[in-house]
Amino acid sequence: AKTGGRRQICFFDNAMTRDLVRKKQIETELRAAILRDELSIFFQPIVDLETGRIRTFEALVRWFHPEKGELRPDEFIPVAEETGVIITLGNWITAQAAKACAGWPDHVTVAVNLSPAQIRAPGAALGILNALREANLDPHRLELEVTESLFLDDNDNTARFMDELASCGVRFALDDFGTGYSSLGYINKFPFKKIKVDRSFVSGPNIGKKSDAIIRAVAEMGATLGMDIVAEGLETIEQVQVVRDAGCTLGQGYYFSRAVPDYLAAMLLSQEQDR
Ligand code: C2E
Ligand code: CA
Ligand code: CA
Ligand code: CA
């Protein structure tokens, strides 16, 4: 049993080393990528289900790697979070998103995803307000999307961060609702204006009467509390009809549009004005 144990530890060490090397490599490449301009922000519309008009664009980061091609955020955001690169990267993303939004009509807002590590960083709220000032963007036009994983952290710090920005007009959305440690306590305690119901409630193996009832209940709560409820991952007209009937106010997904580069986002908005 003793030798078996040792062998296991040895195997574990190798796997850990390999993992560390891979992470270190992504980290180094990621730092260089920011400087080399290999990253860009794409924008996916969030649409008013009543009028069909674009209310918000969610900023989604893309990495165009010279050899590996397009990398999805799920492949490098976790590494950026673990290594701390997310601070530099996140500041850059917020600045880019604010700049783009400043060029859109006043009624359109921009949503930026925030990692828990970004909120923990000293001066995090100030950094965001600076980015807004530099882009000359009204704080009301910025939304920050956070997930429930944030609340496993230091809630006092989170509350301070959110209150400071909310008092300046920045809005918060609770992302991926229904996937994590969903607690209505968070909605009660923190200043959320929007809830984004995770896409697993509109598509996938567990769709049916039950998921429908959950969306309906969340939408009803949203209406009572004056919050917008966004249905994510809408790919078909049938799904759009289901969530609209359930009372969701906003929708996002490939049915409307994928995330597009900034010039296409601007084009979508100018087409709307012509209508
Ligand atoms: P998320 O915030 O839940 O973003 C939504 C993801 O779902 C995006 O993937 C989007 O392209 C995808 N999506 C949108 N509509 C549909 C649809 O109809 N069907 C399907 N199958 N997928 C759809 P993406 O861009 O790969 O981003 C993945 C995750 O990476 C995001 O999930 C977010 O957690 C993270 N992420 C992306 N950009 C940033 C960023 O700038 N900062 C941080 N911290 N995280 C980011
Ligand atoms: Ca999001
Ligand atoms: Ca989401
Ligand atoms: Ca997510």
* ipTM, two decimals: 0.97
Average pLDDT over residues 213-236: 95
Atom 15 of ligand 1: nearest residue by CA position: 253
**165 CA → ligand 2 middle, Å:** 18
What CA–CA distances, in Å, run from 80 to 55, 65, 154, 205, 262?
A: 29, 15, 20, 31, 23
Question: What is the whole-number distance in angstroms between the Cα of residue 59 and the centre of ligand 4?
Answer: 13
In this prediction, residue 1 carries a pLDDT of 43
* CA 180 to centroid of ligand 2, rounded, Å: 14
Tell whether ligand 1 has an atom less than 6 A from the beta carbon of residue 95: no
Going from the C-alpha of 63 to that of each of 33, 35, 73, 95, 168, the distances in angstroms are 8, 12, 8, 17, 32
| Residue with CA closest to ligand 1 atom 4 | 60
Q: What is the mean pLDDT of residues 31-44?
A: 93
pLDDT (mean) for 64-90:
91
Give Cα 260 distance to the centre of its chain: 15
- pTM given for the model: 0.93
